[in-house]
Every structure is written in structure tokens, then in C-alpha cells.
Amino acid sequence: MQKFDVLVVGAGPGGSATARKCVDGGLKTLLIDKHKLPRRKACSGIISNVSQNYVFENFGPIPEKAFSRPNISRGMGFYFPTVGMVYTDVDCYNLYVWRDKFDHFLAKSSGAVLRDRTRFLHLEHDGAEVVAHLKRNEKITKVRARYLIGADGGNSRVIRTFAPDVYQGLPWAYACQKYFEGKIDADDRYLHWFLTRNMGPFPWMNLKDDQIIIGLALVKGHNFQSRFQLFVDFLKKNLGLQIKRELAMEACPSNTMTPLNRFFPGRGNVLMVGDAMGLMHQGGEGISCALASGGYAGEAVIQAVHKGVDALTLYKQLVKPEMVTALDQFNPLRMKASSASSMAKQPGMLHGLSLADKAKAIRDTADFLRNEFEVQGMGDTVLKNMLHRLVFRRYRIPAAD
Ligand SMILES: Cc1cc2nc3c(=O)[nH]c(=O)nc-3n(C[C@H](O)[C@H](O)[C@H](O)COP(=O)(O)OP(=O)(O)OC[C@H]3O[C@@H](n4cnc5c(N)ncnc54)[C@H](O)[C@@H]3O)c2cc1C
């Protein structure tokens, strides 16, 4: 059986950041992914300034071939039913990439032993070590490691097999986006979010390499086909959408751990990072916190191996600010002040509107939030977090306190 210091499950940004750190710290590291790499990922591919800095410092410049056209995303276009489209610029340049190429660059640059088409099945403990059962080409192999890092995304098999209690009673969301060849009357430098009715909490549209990308985020019980058709009809009517043909589709389940304050940094010598840990910013930005948490997990494991500290205890301390920032992103009183995501630092988004239009836009937003955000328990938790932060100047985070 092959033995490594660290086995990282999942070669997305979180897993690659952990692998990079561990390799730099002199640890023998295996990075696996179930897909053949490069693999696609349902994502808009907007790389915030926080993510850019992390990548540049730890992996070097993003290669030219990873960028889409346009290669800079200027911000968001918000569509209000009674006011129309309002564009709001971020205070910096966000980069626009294709995730398959971007993630592959990170994984290759991590310096770890990289094995794709290798699926994590489950793990067992043998003394102080972890034995992971992996599947490649129908063949089951076992790998022994001192630490296992679960970086396997928003629907984590590591959690499902190792700590199934974490997902108990958790509401799930689903994101799906389709790529089309065609025409639409919209600015390709912006991601458009439509505060419309009956299409779920996040009907969005953006353009990359002249492909029109139309997506929906849904919660359990929503019918995708009917809502998607409603959205397409809406875009035809309001933005002159003309579809020539469908090019591709990407979909993935997403957990709702952040707004419910149900983070899972790990247990024993299994640490979780990124989406798998439950880190996500408003608007679905998650690459910056996947990179940061991945780096912290690597740092904690290095200190554990070289200095004998408890990796999980140290990791919880290091990653706590990321949890705080993620909660800030869902706290109406904090989201603007939070510096984690350039998306959160947008200048007053209604500043160009007349008073009457501002009032209409605010009414549209309240109507949208009341009717389309149906995640069970989210409203209560957000309110509780907001009040606790206001009164005690800090959040209560069960996973880290
Ligand atoms: C529609 C949509 C749009 C988004 N747009 C943006 C955006 O523009 N900017 C942004 O910052 N964030 C965005 N996000 C969020 C972002 O995609 C995620 O937060 C980010 O990818 C998390 O990185 P990760 O490394 O934790 O997980 P992932 O990137 O999901 O990587 C997990 C990896 O684990 C692998 N894996 C899974 N199971 C196994 C297994 N059993 N064995 C081995 N490997 C396994 C998967 O193949 C995958 O490669 C978006 C998300 C969605 C759904």
C-alpha cells in the first residue's frame, strides 16, 4: 500500500491550495480527482481580487489560455422588474476564466503527485493514520496517509461516508447553467442577476467567448425545466434573446451550510476545506475562501507534522476568520464592510437612480427576497447571526467556538 503524509481529495481550488502548501512544507502529498482533468465545473469563472492575490502569490500568474473573452468582469447588472437593468461596477478588476483550464493550472502547479480519474470511496482509521479506499478504472486501491483533506466540493463524499451526521436535515440547493450560441442584447462585461418572480433565488445570465450562459439556482421541490423555460421566455421578451443551438450544460448540488452557520472544519485527522467545509460568499463566490481555507489546512498539517501540534485545533483557529467573513456576506449590516470579496465592495448600487426609482428598486428587492428565498431556516439564522454580531461584536460559530 502506498503511503503519503497527506491525501487531498478533490483537485479544485481548495484541494490544490492545500496540496501546494503541503508540498512547500516538505510533505509527501497525493492530490486525487474523480474526473479526468481538466474537468468542467459549474461556475461563472469570476476570479475576485482576493483570489487573484492568492493565486499570484502561491501559484504564479494565471496562464493566458485560461482567460475567456472578455477577460475582465466589471461587476453586476441587477434587473429590477419596475426599473429595468441597473449596472454596478466593482472597485477593482475581476478576472474572467474558464474553470477547466484555471483549475488544471492550479492542480498541476501544486507540485503534488496528481492522479485524476481516481475516486475517493470511503476511509477507515488504522491507529493514528487514515486508509482511504480509492477507485480507478474499476480497480480499488488503498492509500495510507497521516492526514486526509476533504476538498471534494459542495456535495462531499468524504462527509457522506465519514461524517454523515453533518448533512442531516440540511436543505440542498442546485445550480444549473446552459451554454447557447445565439444573440442577446446585454453587456458581456457584467454578470446579470434578475430579481424576477417564480424563477428561484438566482436567475442569472452572462456571456463568455460569445456564448450565452443562462443559469438558475433552485431549492428542492422546484421544477427546473418549467422555471428554465419561463426564464428563457423572459429573456426573449426583455433582452431580445435568440437561441441558435445549445452547446453545453453544467450542474451541481450546493449545500446551504454558510447561511445556516453549519460549517464543518473536520474531525480528528480529517480536515475539510472550501465548499466541502461549507464556505461560500453571497452571490455564490467561493473560490477565494476555498483557496484560503485550503492554504490554512496545509499550514495546520505542516505544523502538526513538524511541531506536533493538533492539526484540527490549529486549523479551526486559522480558518475562523474565513467563517466570519462568510457569515458577514449573509449579514445585511456587514456585507458591504466585509473585505473578503470585491463583489461585496460595490459602490452604492442605486446611486445613479432618481428617488422614485430607488424606492421602486427597494420594493422590488423586498418582494424578491420575500418570495424567492425559501431555504428552510435561513431567514431565522441570518437574523440571529446579525443580532448576535450587533450585540456582542462577534458571531457565535458552533464549529469554531
Ligand atoms: C453556478 C455557479 C457559479 C459560480 N461562480 C463563481 C464565480 O464566478 N466565482 C467564484 O469565486 N466562485 C463561484 N462559484 C463557487 C465556486 O465554484 C466554488 O466555491 C469553488 O469551486 C469551490 O472550490 P472547491 O475546491 O472547494 O470545490 P470544487 O471546485 O467543487 O472542487 C471539488 C473537486 O473534487 C472532486 N471530487 C468530488 N468528489 C470526489 C471524489 N469522491 N473523489 C475524488 N474527487 C472528487 C471534483 O471532481 C472537483 O474537481 C460558483 C458556483 C456555482 C455553482
Per-residue pLDDT tens digits for 59-91:
999 999 999 999 998 888 999 999 999 888 777
Nearest of 38, 50, 89, 93 to residue 71 by alpha carbon: 93
Residue 104 Cβ contacting ligand 1 at under 6 Å: no
d(CA 197, CA 388): 32
More confident residue, 167 or 173: 167
Q: How many CB atoms lie within 10 A of CB 140?
A: 10
Burial of 398 (0-12, 13-18, 19+ CB in 10 A): exposed
Mutate to test the pocket of ligand 1, among 36, 40, 44, 117 (most ligand atoms within 8 A of CB): 44
3-state secondary structure of 128: coil
Atom 50 (ligand 1) nearest CA? 43
pLDDT one-digit tens code per residue, 324-342? 999 998 887 887 666 545 5
The predicted pLDDT at position 340 comes to 47
More confident residue, 351 or 149: 149
Query: pLDDT category, 368, cuts 50, 70, 90?
Result: confident
The helix or strand, by DSSP H or E, that contains position 369, with its residue range, turns out to be helix 355-372
> What mean pLDDT is predicted for residues 245-267?
95
Residue 152 Cβ contacting ligand 1 at under 6 Å: yes
The predicted pLDDT at position 201 comes to 86
d(CA 47, CA 64): 14
Query: Ligand 1: distance of its center to the CA of 284 in Å?
Result: 11
Query: Ligand 1: distance of its center to the CA of 96 in Å?
Result: 16
pLDDT one-digit tens code per residue, 138-162? 999 999 999 999 999 999 999 999 9
pTM for this model (two decimals): 0.95
Residue 215 Cβ contacting ligand 1 at under 6 Å: yes
Residue 277 Cβ contacting ligand 1 at under 6 Å: no
Atom 4 (ligand 1) nearest CA? 43
The predicted pLDDT at position 350 comes to 67
Query: Ligand 1: distance of its center to the CA of 18 in Å?
Result: 14
d(CA 208, CA 382): 34
The angle formed by the CA atoms of residues 125, 128 and 130, to the nearest 5 degrees, is 40
- Cβ-contact 99, 41 below 8 angstroms: yes
Euclidean distance between the first and final Cα of the chain, in Å? 38
Residue 347: pLDDT over 70? no
Cell of 304: 502538526
d(CA 4, CA 146): 7
- Cβ-contact 41, 90 below 8 angstroms: no
Q: Rounded mean pLDDT of the chain?
A: 92
Residue 176 Cβ contacting ligand 1 at under 6 Å: no
Supply the angle between the helices 13-24 and 49-58 in degrees, to the nearest 10: 30
The angle formed by the CA atoms of residues 373, 374 and 377, to the nearest 5 degrees, is 110
Which numbered atom of ligand 1 lies nearest the CA of 134? 42
User: CA dihedral in degrees (100, 67, 106, 218; nearest 10)?
Assistant: -50
Query: pLDDT category, 391, cuts 50, 70, 90?
Result: very high
